[in-house]
Amino acid sequence: MTNVPEPLSPMAAAPPDSPDESLLDIRGLTVAFPTRSGLAVAVNDVSLSVAAGETKGIVGESGSGKTMMCRAVLGLIPQPGAILAGEILWKGQDLVTASKRDMRRVRGSQIAMIFQDPASALDPVFTVGDQIAEPLRVHRNMSRKSAQKEAIDLLGHVGIPSARERSHSYPHELSGGMRQRAMIAIAIACRPDLILADEPTTNLDVTIQDQILGLLSDLQREFGMAIVLVSHDLGVVAQNADDVAVMYAGYAVESAPTKLLFSSTRHPYTAGLIKALPTVNIDAQRTMLSPIPGQPPALDHLGSGCPFAPRCQYSAERCLQVDMSLVRVADQHDTACPFALEVMSGDG
Amino acid sequence: MAEDVLTIESLNKRFRLDRSLGAWLHRAPARTVTAVDDVSLSVPRGHVLGIVGESGCGKTTLARCVVRLVEPDGGQVRLDGQDLLALSRAQLRAVRKRVQLVFQDPYTSLNPRLTIGAAIAEAARVHQIVDRAGERGYVLEMLELVGLSSEFYDRLPRALSGGQRQRAVIARALAVKPEVLIADEAVSALDVSIQAQILNLLRRLTDELGLATLFIAHQLAVIANISDSVAVMYLGQIVEHGSTREIFRSPQHPYTRALLAAHPEPDPDRRRTEPAVRGDIPSPLDLPNGCRFHTRCPHAQDKCLTPPPVVDLGEGHQARCVVLPYAEGRVAPATPPPDADR
């Protein structure tokens, strides 16, 4: 997190007196939902920071808490969930305690979100042009006319052909890939410093996914914004993120620069995920995959210690005492498994 | 190679769309969607044939045509030499148990009010595999086969996770002792750690029971892992077909290469070799002339505007492309292209 260039964007206004270089600094965030059988902790004491201009990957399977963490940043935790503890520092300001008014000023303007399913995230009764113009009118006080004009420019910018005509289209008239491009146009409309992309390509075909991820990285290069890329797909993260945090059952279990995460894995869950993945490299393909045995735990029935222990090949008595805080094993490389260096020394 | 259990020959399916009132009044011709276009494939015993393609390429319609859940317009589907398309409904019922399907969504494939044991027993009973007395023992045997313990017998589907449900669905399919198993995106909805369990299970069952398995998926890596041979579909056609090794080592159709290039490998050091393909998949309502991929193809030439023949590359490897196999010397340029009707 050193030598990160200042964002080039005209709207970027990072305060120079910011205590450190990170744009977003999540500290000890805990998000929980009451259920009939107890409290389900969706995000459990997670700390994570995002520097200006970087791409932070968050990878995990369903129910690992990656989506809830993103939503927490924008104050979008669905009822009856709530943030129980922690701070979300945005340029030094805590968003957890921020007023609704302050939150509105940040949301959509400085931090934008791209959702997994553009078909339901876009409003079906407004044209995409209107929906791109809306944040411009709200946050940048543009006139209707200039906002419409800017919306057309943005549509062209995200690679939608004949943008002027398309700005009059309703979401249902666009293909899945085009809808996701329109959603990206909304997200970048106010030149945010950070985009939270929650599974932005999960419902798209692989050739379209490739186009969308390419577009996001082009836009990032152009505007210098940071991206939090949430995905269940280790491949997507490997190809696009600078740093990766791996989540399991609400905990961040490993965090490292992308190359390091794959070359010297330091958590048994991450190692298990990598080994369970099939590959298109036919010469490296194993005939039988090594699945992780068992199922992820229910979030309202987490026992003490490491939640991965029941599925872990290295698990032992002592794993029940693990407190899941991250320990540093190498420069910028953290793991929640205190025994990783000892048990996994031969791996990776 | 073992004899083919399932043979599909020149299978076709077009769907006519309903006309709007306006179109009807103007006597506009009904529009048709070409879902499956002249598809020929065969699967021997103990063999997994992978079918890969993006949404709308016709892979699911193909699976449904094989068991006549959708009636094909033409072609043949032969099971041990018997043409399924020529059978009456009553005859078809007897044959159907020999071909079983597993769908993507195990949540909607199981009756929520039947226990897992009852669901599997029902399938076996309907097809007279076991009598009442032997039922419970048989079901427990099936559960064990797919790696579920006997405690699942009395559970309802809602008490099972996605991976466990998919195992239960596979157990039900196998309970009628099929020869052909069709898995349509059977692992697509599962998390990676669970997906690997189901892939291993399907591979093991295919080998142990000598099934002929048609495995349909959109994820290339999954196909590469489980399949013995692969067919790549694009807009209703098979554009490339061959052994898994051939298809992934030396793909000869630009679309196969595009899929491979776009596939995100979990390897941060990988560098891409092919440019990203442009544009969206064309609508199957309005197919491009000539090669269906030419609108997005980085190698497209003028000759691609006429429908390309299937080019034979030897050892069962075929590609529907007149550019790459010649450009890369896989086929001698002097070889006259094979019959365009193929």
Provide the β-strand partners of residue A112: A195
Please say whether the beta carbons of B32 and B236 come within 8 A. Answer: no
Chain A hits for B161, Cβ within 8 Å: 295
State whether B224 and A285 contact (CB < 8 Å).
Answer: yes
B50, HSE (Cβ side, Cα atoms, 13 Å):
28
- Whole-number Å distance between alpha carbons of A174 and A166: 9
Q: Which helix (H) or strand (E) holds B119?
A: helix B116-126
Chain A hits for B268, Cβ within 8 Å: 238-239, 258-259, 262
Considering only CB atoms, B220 lies closest to which of A213, A276, A280, namely: A280
Predicted pLDDT of residue A166: 94
Closest residue on chain A to B191 (Cα): A61
Predicted pLDDT of residue A117: 86
Contact with chain A for residue B256, Cβ under 8 A: no
Average pLDDT, integer, range B127-135: 89
Phi-psi region of A38 (alpha: psi -120 to 50; beta: other; left: phi over 0): left
Please say whether the beta carbons of B311 and B325 come within 8 A. Answer: yes
3-class DSSP state for residue A318? helix
Predicted pLDDT of residue B341: 44
Q: Residue B199 gets which letter from DSSP? A: H
Predicted pLDDT of residue B276: 79
Going by C-alpha positions, the residue among B233, B236, B218 that lies closest to residue B283 is B236
- Which residue in this structure is represented by tokens 């045995």? A293
State whether B193 and A175 contact (CB < 8 Å).
Answer: no
Chain B hits for A37, Cβ within 8 Å: none
Predicted pLDDT of residue A42: 94
| Residues 74-103 in B contacting A (C-alpha not used; CB under 8 Å) | none
Q: What percent of chain B has pLDDT over 90?
A: 69
The separation between CA B212 and the C-alpha centre of its own chain, rounded to angstroms, equals 12
Closest residue on chain B to A177 (Cα): B280
Interface ipTM: 0.85
| Peptide linkage before A200 cis (omega within 30 of 0) | no
List CB contacts of B314: < 8 A, sequence separation 6 or more: none
Closest residue on chain A to B202 (Cα): A288
Closest residue on chain A to B200 (Cα): A288
Predicted pLDDT of residue B280: 86
| Residues 51-70 in B contacting A (C-alpha not used; CB under 8 Å) | 54-55
Predicted pLDDT of residue B338: 53
Average pLDDT, integer, range B196-201: 94
Predicted pLDDT of residue B115: 95
- Which residue in this structure is represented by tokens 């902790």? A41
User: Could you read off the pLDDT of B98-116 as tens digits, one per residue?
Assistant: 999 998 887 888 999 999 9
Across the beta sheet with B4-16, the strand order is B32-44, B4-16, B74-79, B82-83
Going by C-alpha positions, the residue among A132, A109, A134, A114 that lies closest to residue A193 is A109
Predicted pLDDT of residue A281: 86
Predicted pLDDT of residue A3: 47
Task: Pick from B167, B193, B199, B280 the residue to mutate for testing the A interface (most A CBs within 10 Å).
Answer: B193
User: Could you read off the pLDDT of B17-42 as tens digits, one per residue?
Assistant: 887 788 888 887 778 889 999 999 99
Report the predicted TM-score, pTM, of the whole model to 2 decimal places: 0.88
State whether A238 and B259 contact (CB < 8 Å).
Answer: no
Predicted pLDDT of residue A12: 40
Considering only CB atoms, A280 lies closest to which of B248, B277, B278, namely: B248
Chain B hits for A210, Cβ within 8 Å: 261-262, 264, 276-277
Residuewise pLDDT in 10s, chain A (348 residues)? 444 444 334 444 444 444 457 899 999 999 999 988 889 999 999 999 999 999 999 999 988 999 999 999 999 999 899 999 999 999 999 999 999 999 999 999 999 999 988 888 999 999 999 999 999 999 999 999 999 999 999 999 999 989 999 999 999 999 889 999 999 999 999 999 999 999 999 888 999 999 999 999 999 999 999 999 999 999 999 999 999 999 999 999 999 999 999 999 999 999 999 999 998 988 876 678 899 998 888 888 788 899 999 999 999 999 999 999 999 999 999 999 999 998 886 544
Q: How confident is the model at residue B131 (pLDDT cuts 50, 70, 90)?
A: confident
Please say whether the beta carbons of B42 and B10 come within 8 A. Answer: no
| Residues 277-316 in B contacting A (C-alpha not used; CB under 8 Å) | 277-278, 280-281, 296
- Return the axis-axis angle of helices B162-174 and B132-145, rounded to nearest 10°: 130
Considering only CB atoms, A234 lies closest to which of B203, B219, B266, namely: B266
Chain A hits for B248, Cβ within 8 Å: 280-282
Burial category of B128 from C-beta neighbours within 10 Å (exposed 0-12, middle 13-18, buried 19 and up): exposed
Predicted pLDDT of residue A17: 42
| Residues 141-170 in B contacting A (C-alpha not used; CB under 8 Å) | 161, 163-164
